[in-house]
Amino acid sequence: MRRVAVRTDGELLAAASSGADAEAFGEFYARQERDVLRFFLHWTRSSEVAADLMAETFAVVFESMGSYRPERGEPRAWLFGIARNLLARSVRRGRVEDETRRRLGLAPLVVDDQMLAVVEALGDGGTPAMDALGDLSGLLQEAVAGRVVEEREYRELAASLHCSESVVRQRVSRGLARIREHLEVSE
């Protein structure tokens, strides 16, 4: 039996940005789509807004994938950094941005009833741990989500949260302890 080599996310981005593999971006998208959608569902609680933000996120990723630098972190952290920035911008402006999608000539994501049901099912798939994460205070939630959900490095989180690595480690530790307590109580 012959083994098929599975490419890393970094290899997929490199192949897609170089033009060497027209299907590499689609594979990267397929791997990350559900997690990005869940991320937006968790924060927006709206299927339509989550779908719009996801579409714009992947448009930005497609347009800027040549700027991804492996030495600065994992592709997933880079992707979620873009997602987080778009979410923050949409909250500040009170609307979802779609400039990149339009500039690339991509049609708006049409959320029909069938797709809406799939998106909402993802949102309903919340685990007790994700519910407990949502109950944390803003600083703890941001640290735990960044480290555990988005798999970001402590130094990257410290820079984005404007604090030291030791403060981020402490917040993650406290947040995880509270989540653990919540899970023990609900058993």
Q: Give the class (CATH, top level) of 1-126.
A: mainly alpha
CATH number of 127-187: 1.10.10.10
Burial code (b: 16+ CB inside 10 Å, e: under 16) for 87-101 equals: beebeeeeebbbebb
What DSSP character marks residue 181?
Answer: H
85-107 tens-digit pLDDT: 888 888 776 666 666 656 656 56
- Give ranges for CATH 1.10.1740.10 in the chain: 1-126
- Give ranges for CATH 1.10.10.10 in the chain: 127-187
Return the amino acid letter for 182: H
- Determine the pLDDT at residue 28: 93
pTM: 0.56
